[in-house]
Chain A
């Protein structure tokens, strides 16, 4: 359920939100924004998700930096979610790990581990709008979307690359969220046929043009585990700096068992390159 990998596809938006209270009094002729998002989330749902990702950061000159990372997500029945992202290459950054525990009942907790520093550090508070590891993705781009934090409005339908799409605007639901997020609102372009998110535009306060645009393509079923679609490529274009970052899904497993130990902060301090081997093995085993 690749939640760490943002809402454009699958995991971003869970159940419907505040919109209900706004729309409750009015007769709606067709699907609302919230209903669309509901469908999006349901169609891409998975209990656990294991991904091998290649992250390519491209600067305005076309110079590239390539990193490989493994991403693990799991969510229990209560809705408490755990994420872990760990760098596999290049060798000098191997082992850098970001761990997030997002319990329904509490604020999310984060730990950061740098092998060269030796000890995991707990990160207090939120850093939604900071850039993730020198890429064009911010932390909030990679976060699971909390539907209570957003209101969804459906706008006029449109077309993206020849596909008919719903257009849904997501805006912060309250002032606290508004001050924490880096965006004023986002526009999601969702394929009407299969509810795959094809494009997301990110707007800042008072801007008429998006500061960033995310494009997701090469949707394909992760057939070995389920019939859920995943985009093989997500590209984040930073309109301000002229740079972009591409995440390519090299391997992916859904709903496979994940060792809960890897989400324990203490385990970070004992990390060795061998620690990742069982995880990597899982890409090759049958479910």
Chain B
């Protein structure tokens, strides 16, 4: 890292030129970036549901609708209907339209003078008001038209366009359809040049009168072919449906990006600038974010990834995490400068101090988001890839561009020493917080943990109450005209969500009355459901013919019991009339449900209800399926949540692994994870409390939370690890790391929170929620990082001891000391971690004969002397060195200290007390049994030596050269 920093610093202009060139190239490419907010991306590819959907739509046609709503008090006049017919025909000509349902196309099955007429209601538009009024009533009375085509009062109608499955990008096709429809409605679409038809040719053989008549006719035709601005012709006319919704959504997203992101960025710059007291510190994160975003966009184009409902947040993500990193870097730079380093030295200092952290955060965030991409949902794949690319770009720019930038502009950054004022404030804030921590919080860790737990626990219980929902409509502000239009159409006519319930039988089995009556019963059951607007099936067509054939009584509108009669009724329909409802060869039938449910969880419930009812066998035992794009999207919402869980889990696992490796301690890793989960738990709890649903927008908050929390935690932990090695005291190390990291953490957290609050002004609900929740997360992560993490760390003896001992010493100790006999390295470590480290100076007493004590000591450094006062004179019994143990008798048996132990040199000791051993017994019986075995052996050995000594002529020799003895033959100790 240092070398890279130096390289970039030395070749600053080259690096900047390369970065700018890549950026320029990326920006030029970024213009090709597509926006895709279609729900297709929510559907897992190759899922059984998708295959079923493919099969059903192949057989029965598309379930994707675009609706044109037309309302006019004078709708049923010749003039208006003629216009409407022209509109219907123009719409039908659009290449994306598979079929059109309108007053002019849907079968109006009725008895006409004894004959059954199944031709469309308005195949010809009558002129007389009476005939028109009759047609209007016929339309309202027709169950195939009521609500799906005509409103109950007859002055609003829908032209329903069934859209072809899009080739290639769904969004391109949505946009095209939307624009095409809009152009037709507004009369902007130039009609195709009328082909010269025969009657337009020169009419040489005709008499003058005929010629004039034909010319007039030709002129009339040209007039009707001219585009009409339909918006001026009816009281209300507009389009709704999935293309419109998707286009509106994309517009919303883009509009938000255009206004709110710069505004949020500006706030961020101002806040950070003010707090850091440096303009540069404020703009560097923004410049970095702009460059990284440009790179990411360029890469997205190269990988053919569109902007979607999820990954449009990536620029914000880059800004957030990038800002944190950059502020850290600048803070270090400024400190390094303050300490007197200049130029490349200062830059090298940055790498030296936080190079590892930079690398680790870059790795964690990149991998963490990349893991999110391991999803069956393409929208998640795209998000994962985009976010990972963003994080990678940001990392690369931070470690290459920034050193180069500092070469040129670094001189303008004030060093912390020289700027007395700023420094004063900087120090004041830091001092205040660290004082608070030192004096109050760190001393009362239980109280702090209790407070955090009291906040987190209720939230934890609230989490299961979060509603998972993907409701595109709810993304829009309730007052927006789009929502008003959608509700109007749904209330007066029907919604645009289509659900297909398909029944599978054998060839011609759907011509049999039993099957058809079951379908009829099912349709009637569905009609009673308030959630469903319209229900249409083949049974309705047959029932209508039956009614007409039996004399027009409503009582006869049902499927008759006679199979041949049904076959004969079916002759009244053109094959294409029935295509949406029955498959070729009458083996499968399709019940088409229309509803206005936009909430995915409501839709899932509906589907479950339908399946449950069908499983009862009440409507026959034909195999069935419930399908449709909206059904698939709703089912896929679970996957998004799954994706979020994966994202959270993987980031957490990475954090755990990194901290675990850094401190060689699962405990430290657990603590780091625990303090990171705090903001996540609280945010989700608050979401549950305020009824914010977990949707494609808000679920990103979790990703942001973890990203930012991991980043801050890593900075703190890496620093803590370093400080520990230097200071060898947790409290001091914590305070020192906090002092160093506090200011950048507070600065970026507050700056980002301020920026996110701006997004709360968005009219696009997910962005609004995202902004506010993210701001909350920033504050929570800040609290967690500067209070919870230090407090948790302070309650735990980390690897300090293990670390402090150092590799060689550790090995020597474990090798030599009888305490560690037969223990694995991991067990030895556990044991060492249970102990405290004590340092004694030369001449100091460690234990006094006759004292009460409950500690055992292991010598790790220095030499001690064991002595007894016998008959008023001090007799040195033995000397102790590395690995030797003393104090175990008082520890285990309830006796007083049997000798004095004094330090002959400066000494370091491992101190193990009874309480720790009790804990060990409870939580680690294997280790403790081994330990007690070792202790017993030591005691036994001591007994043996004592006996030997008593029997020997000189019971208290001045020195025992036990170093050369085996461990089990060690001399006694007090």
Residues of A that sit less than 8 Å from B by CB:
22-23, 25-26, 28-30, 32, 57-61, 63, 65, 87, 90, 92-93, 96, 110, 112, 114-117, 121-125, 127, 129-131, 133-136, 138, 153-156, 158, 167, 169, 179, 182, 185, 187, 201, 203, 205-210, 240-243
Q: A96-B568, A154-B205 are in contact. Are A131 and B197 (CB under 8 A)?
A: no
- Pairwise interchain contact B114-A115, C-beta atoms closer than 8 A: no
Please state if A129 and B575 are interface contacts (CB–CB under 8 Å): no
A201 — which chain B residues lie within 8 A by C-beta?
Answer: 197-198
Asked if A123 contacts B201 (CB within 8 A), the reply is no
List, sorted by A's number, 15 A–B pairs whose CB atoms are closer than 8 Å.
Answer: A26-B208, A59-B576, A92-B564, A124-B114, A127-B117, A136-B574, A154-B206, A179-B124, A182-B123, A182-B124, A187-B198, A201-B197, A206-B82, A206-B221, A208-B221
A169 touching B207 by the CB < 8 A rule?
no
Q: Which residues of B contact A203 (CB under 8 A)?
A: 197
In whole angstroms, how far apart are the Cα atoms of A78 and B549 in the complex? Answer: 35
Residues of B within 8 A of A134 (CB): 570-575, 577
Residues of A within 8 A of B200 (CB): 208
- Smallest CB separation, A34 vs chain B (Å): 12
With a cutoff of 8 Å between Cβ atoms, the chain A residues found around residue B511 in the complex are 92
Other than the given A116-B562, A182-B124, 17 more pairs (CB < 8 A) read A58-B575, A61-B584, A92-B564, A93-B567, A114-B565, A122-B114, A124-B115, A125-B112, A127-B115, A127-B117, A129-B124, A130-B119, A136-B574, A153-B214, A154-B206, A156-B202, A205-B124
Q: Are B114 and A206 in contact (CB under 8 A)?
A: no
A112 to B116, CA, bound (A): 10
Check if B123 sits within 8 Å of A32, measured CB to CB.
Answer: no
A120 to B591, CA, bound (A): 33
B871 within 8 A of A: no
Contact B114 A112 (CB under 8 A): yes
Query: What 10 A-B pairs are tightest by C-beta distance, nearest first?
Result: A92-B567, A124-B113, A116-B565, A125-B113, A123-B115, A116-B564, A63-B584, A59-B575, A206-B224, A26-B207
Closest Cβ–Cβ distance, residue A236 to chain B (whole Å): 11
- How many Å from the CB of A135 to the closest CB on chain B? 7
Query: When A22-B209, A153-B206, A240-B92 are in contact, do A96 and B579 touch as well, CB less than 8 Å?
Result: no
List the A side residues contacting B115 at CB < 8 Å.
Answer: 110, 112, 121, 123-124, 127, 130
Q: Is the CB of B563 within 8 A of A92?
A: yes
Nearest chain B residue, comparing its CB with the CB of A151 = B210
* Nearest B residue (CB) for A139: B115
Cα A208 to Cα B86 with chains together (Å): 12
In the bound complex, what is the Cα–Cα distance between A121 and B92 (angstroms)? 37
Per a CB cutoff under 8 Å, which of A114, A136, A210 touches B568? A114
B205 touching A241, Cβ below 8 Å: no
In the docked arrangement, what's the CA distance between A32 and B579, Å? 45
Annotate B184-198 by CB proximity to A: 1 below 8 A, 0 otherwise.
Answer: 000000000011011
B479 on the interface (CB 8 Å rule)? no
Cβ-closest chain A residue relative to B218: A208
CA distance A124 to B117 in the complex (A): 12
Shortest C-beta distance, B227 to chain A (Å), equals 14
Q: Which of B105-145 contact A (CB under 8 A)?
A: 112-115, 117-119, 123-124, 126-127
Say if the beta carbon of B454 comes within 8 Å of chain A.
Answer: no
Task: For A57, list chain B residues within 8 Å (CB).
Answer: 574-575
Contacts of A210 in B (CB 8 A): 197
A65 to B82 alpha-carbon distance, docked (Å): 34
Q: In the complex, what distance in Å separates the CA atom of A65 from the CA atom of B570?
A: 12
Q: How far does the alpha carbon of A136 sit from the alpha carbon of B572 in the complex, in Å?
A: 12
B579 — which chain A residues lie within 8 A by C-beta? Answer: 59-61
Q: How far is the CA of A199 from the CA of B215 in the complex (A)?
A: 24
CA distance A26 to B204 in the complex (A): 13
Verify B568–A32 contact, CB threshold 8 A: no
How many A-B residue contacts, CB cutoff 8 Å?
151
Chain A, interface SS category: loop
CA distance A29 to B204 in the complex (A): 10
Q: A217 CB to closest chain B CB, in angstroms?
A: 20
- Would you call B203 an interface residue if the criterion is a C-beta within 8 Å of the partner chain's C-beta atoms? yes
Knowing A123-B113, A208-B195, A208-B221 touch, does A130 contact B206 (C-beta < 8 A)? no
A92/B118 in contact, CB under 8 A: no
Contact A32 B205 (CB under 8 A): yes
Residue among A60, A133, A208 with most chain B CB within 10 A: A208
Q: Are A243 and B574 in contact (CB under 8 A)?
A: yes
Q: How far is the CA of A184 from the CA of B203 in the complex (A)?
A: 18
> Which residues from chain A contact B576 at a C-beta distance below 8 Å?
59-60, 241-243
Q: How far is the CB of A83 from chain B (nearest CB, A)?
A: 15
User: Is B220 on the interface with A (CB-CB < 8 A)?
Assistant: yes
B529 within 8 A of A: no
Cβ of B198 and Cβ of A93 under 8 Å apart? no
Q: Contacts of B622 on A, CB cut-off 8 Å?
A: none
Q: Tell me the bound Cα distance from A187 to B195 in angstroms.
A: 15
Please indicate the chain A residues that have their CB under 8 angstroms from the CB of B207 in the complex: 22-23, 25-26
CB of B225 closer than 8 Å to a CB of A: yes
B284 to chain A, nearest CB (A): 61
List, in ascending order, chain A residues with CB within 8 A of B86's CB: 206
The residue on A at minimum CB distance from B202 is: A156
- Whether A116 and B568, one on each chain, are in contact in the complex, defined by CB atoms closer than 8 angstroms, is yes
CA–CA, A130 and B570, complex, Å: 15
CB of B199 within 8 A of chain A? yes
Residue of B at shortest CB range from A138? B119
Q: How far, in angstroms, from A185 to B217 measured CA to CA in the complex?
A: 11
Please, how many angstroms separate the alpha-carbon atoms of A154 and B568 in the complex?
42
Known pairs A29-B205, A115-B568, A129-B124; A241 contacts B118 (CB<8 A): no
Give the nearest-CB partner of B208 in chain A.
Answer: A26
What residues of B have a CB within 8 angstroms of the CB of A25 in the complex? 207
Least CB distance, A268 to chain B, in whole angstroms: 14
Partner of A209, one of B197, B563, B567, B573: B197
Kindly state the separation between the CA atoms of A32 and B568 in the bound complex, as whole angstroms. Answer: 45
Determine the residue in chain A with the shortest Cβ distance to B200.
Answer: A208
Which one of A23, A112, A208 lies within 8 Å of B225 (CB-CB)? A208
Chain A residues lying within 8 Å of B225, measured Cβ to Cβ, are 208
For B221, give its contact among A135, A155, A207 (CB under 8 Å): A207
Q: Which of B117, B127, B549, B570 contacts A117 (CB 8 A)?
A: B549
Cα A58 to Cα B584 in complex, Å, equals 11
B70: shortest Cβ distance to chain A, in Å? 19
B567-607 interface code vs A (CB 8 A; 1 in, 0 out): 11011111111010000100000000000000000000000
Q: How far is the CA of A29 from the CA of B112 in the complex (A)?
A: 47
CA–CA, A238 and B806, complex, Å: 90
Interface centre among B207, B221, B570 (most CB of A within 10 A): B207
**C-alpha spacing A117/B574, complex, angstroms:** 21
Which A residues are CB-close (under 8 A) to B199? 155, 169, 185, 187
Complex CA gap A154/B571 in Å reads: 38
Closest Cβ neighbor of A94 among chain B residues: B564
**Cβ-closest chain B residue relative to A208:** B194
Minimum C-beta distance from B492 to chain A (A) = 28
CA A112 to CA B565, docked complex, whole Å: 14
Interface centre among A28, A127, A206 (most CB of B within 10 A): A206
A135 and B574 in contact, given A155-B201, A208-B221 (Cβ under 8 angstroms)? yes
Best-buried of B82, B209, B565, B574 by chain A (most CB within 10 Å): B574
Interface string of B879-891 (1 = CB under 8 A from A): 0000000000000
Structural contact, B565 and A117, CB atoms closer than 8 A: yes
The docked-state distance in angstroms from the alpha carbon of A182 to that of B120 is 12
Closest to A155 in B: B198
User: Which residues of chain B have C-beta atoms less than 8 A from A138's C-beta?
Assistant: 119
- A75–B759 alpha-carbon span in the complex (Å): 84
- With a CB–CB cut-off of 8 A, which chain A residues contact B118? 130-131
Q: Which of B201-244 contact A (CB under 8 A)?
A: 201-210, 214, 220-222, 224-225
A207 to B208, CA, bound (A): 23
Known: A116-B565, A117-B565. A241 touches B574 (CB 8 A): yes
User: How far is the CB of A189 from the nearest CB of chain B, in Å?
Assistant: 8
Q: Provided the pairs A131-B118, A134-B571, A207-B221 are in contact, do residues A156 and B197 lie with their beta carbons within 8 angstroms?
A: no
Assembly CA distance A93 to B92 (angstroms):
33
